Amino acid sequence: MFAVGVHRNLSYKGVAALQWITEHCDHAKYIMKTDDDVFVNMFALLKHLNDLYVHGFRLRLIACLVFWRMHVLRDGQWAIPTEEMPDDLYPPYCSGMGYVFSTDVAVALYRVSFYVKFFWVDDAFISGFLPHGLGGAVVHSDMGRAYCGAHEMGLYWHETEWYKYIFTHVHDENLYRRTWKNLVDIAGRRRIPTPRVVRPGNLAEKYLSKQALFPLPTEKQQPDKQLIKRKDETAKKKLS
């Protein structure tokens, strides 16, 4: 049973995670947060984090798909009344699909959470308002190129592109399992090169166009739902 308003408790959950990291996991080099419906290319992520560590990106790191100028919604499930937040724009914050902190950042966010006004939109609070509360000590690094869509999952076993993407929302369990199996196979056969310029979000020298490799279906290519419905009805009549 779905608890009404449960999404309004997610910021508490996020702060509790920061507390746990601070008290039990501060020896880790980096922390990844992701949703439970997200495919994560761990081979690419671990290689990228190792490259960042070797090249000195060890502290004050928040790497993610950054929403630089996200408008505050005034309608719907995530609506914020003006009396709760008069500003029309959020501070820069991360897509909740997945992001990476250096562990010092996670510790700092937990400590500053005692002094920042609570806000129930969790991704905006944890990766936006809390970093903002640190007064510029932490700056977001855009890692947007490491994200791809579910219709582009073939990238994860493409011969040249498989290590260039990390996070994808996917709600098809069969697709998830098939992608992981193919990814494990190619990761066992291929080595991930280190780009000449190492910085957060830069996983490769060159990228093939995702749109060219996996174009979204056009309207003409979309299945005709009315035609399918008529065929189903005809089939049912024949059976009866």
- Identify the DSSP state of 226: H
Q: What is the pLDDT of residues 136-153, one digit of tens each?
A: 899 999 999 999 999 999
Do residues 38 and 123 touch, judged by C-beta distance below 8 A? Answer: no
CA dihedral 77, 78, 81, 87 (to 10 degrees): -160
Label the pairing between strands 93-102 and 30-34. antiparallel
- Identify the DSSP state of 193: P
Q: What is the pLDDT of residues 32-81, one digit of tens each?
A: 999 999 999 999 999 999 999 999 999 999 999 999 999 998 888 778 88
Closest CA to 49 of 124, 176, 41, 215: 41
With tokens 């056969």, the residue in question is 189
- pTM score, whole prediction: 0.84
